[in-house]
Chain A
């Protein structure tokens, strides 16, 4: 399994500012995924972050708005830039780990962001 620690767990931010969310994993992983969950909605993939290369963004998400760093195999950050109230969401980090020899997705506890 993989244990994921996300920081901060929640924050209230002013519009126009930026917030960086950290994701730390207790084991080395190739891919890390960032998801967004808007209020009352399901999860949507923002981007996939591989160590040593540029993150791959899904349709509707751009690097200028959601820059991602992946400096090593256990850590990643997601920045939400120039925030507006529409960015109020839960942001979740995920990795693929192994449980009983089977690969499955593990999630952090999420960062609950409110933009005022």
Chain B
């Protein structure tokens, strides 16, 4: 059974810092990996998707990497802003396309 772990559980940084969120998974037979953002009480916004054959994806200040063999992904956020404050969720997709989620990293960026 796939298990996804995210570290750290919570992170508080001053505005402008670069930061890294970590995600690990136990079964490397994944279809893809997605990073989502969730604001309090809201649904999920997809940030980046990395297919199993890819190593990284970039969107603006966000960069996500994938090392399938070691079961790891990182989300790098450059020049963090208070508007980046949210919970960041990592999820892996299996052959049946359902997602297994990590427990999330709650990010607070202080002005």
Interface residues of A (CB under 8 A from B): 6, 31, 33, 35, 41-45, 48, 90, 92, 94, 96, 99, 102-110, 112
Contacts and interface: CB of A to CB of B under 8 A. Distances in A.
Interface in B42-57: 42-44, 46, 49, 51
B interface residue count range (under 10 / 10 to 19 / 20 to 34 / 35 or more) = 20 to 34
Given A42-B101, A104-B34, A48 B91 contact: no
A105 B96 contact: no
Given A6-B43, A42-B89, A90-B43, 4 more contacts: A43-B44, A103-B32, A103-B97, A109-B42
A37 to B, nearest CB: 9
Given A41-B103, A42-B101, A107 B49 contact: no
Contacts of A105: 34, 46, 91, 93, 97, 99
Nearest to B1: A59
B44 A48 contact: no
Given A43-B89, A43-B101, A110-B42, A104 B96 contact: no
A107 B102 CA distance: 16
Contacts of A103: 32, 97
Contacts of A41: 103
A49 B101 CA distance: 19
A102 B51 contact: yes
Given A104-B32, A106-B46, A110-B42, A48 B96 contact: yes
Nearest first, the 10 closest Cβ-Cβ pairs linking A and B are: A109-B43, A110-B43, A107-B44, A42-B101, A43-B101, A104-B49, A42-B103, A107-B43, A45-B98, A96-B97
Given A42-B89, A104-B32, A31 B97 contact: yes
A57 B36 CA distance: 24
